[in-house]
Amino acid sequence: MSKIDPSEKRPFIPLKIAVLTVSDTRGLADDKSGQTLVDRLEKAGHVLADRAIVTDDVDRIQAQAKLWINRDDVDVIISTGGTGFTGRDITPEAFEPLFEKKMDGFSAVFHRISYEKIGTSTVQSRATGGVANATYIFVLPGSSGACKDAWDGILAQQLDYRHLPCNFVEIMPRLDEHLKRGKLQGK
Q: How far apart are CA 80 and CA 16, in angstroms?
A: 17
Q: pLDDT digits over 102-142, tens only?
A: 999 999 999 999 999 999 999 999 999 999 999 999 999 99
Region for 134 from its dihedrals, namely left if φ exceeds 0, alpha if ψ lies in -120 to 50, beta otherwise:
left
Task: Identify the pLDDT of residue 4.
Answer: 72
Q: Reply yes or no on domain 14-184 having CATH 3.40.50.2000.
A: no
Order across the sheet with 47-54: list the strands.
47-54, 16-22, 76-80, 135-140, 128-132, 101-102
Q: What is the mean pLDDT of the chain?
A: 92
pTM as predicted:
0.92
User: What is the arithmetic mean of pLDDT over 37-53?
Assistant: 98
Task: Identify the pLDDT of residue 53.
Answer: 97
Q: pLDDT digits over 50-85, tens only?
A: 999 999 999 999 999 999 999 999 999 999 999 999
Q: pLDDT digits over 132-169, tens only?
A: 999 999 999 999 999 999 999 999 999 999 999 999 99
Task: Identify the pLDDT of residue 180.
Answer: 60
Query: Which stretches within the chain are classed as H helix?
Result: 32-44, 58-69, 91-95, 104-118, 144-150, 156-158, 168-171, 177-184
Percent of the chain predicted with pLDDT > 70: 91
User: What is the arithmetic mean of pLDDT over 33-56?
Assistant: 98
Give the pLDDT band of residue 182 (cuts 50, 70, 90): very low
Q: Is the pLDDT of residue 183 over 80?
A: no
Task: Identify the pLDDT of residue 158.
Answer: 98
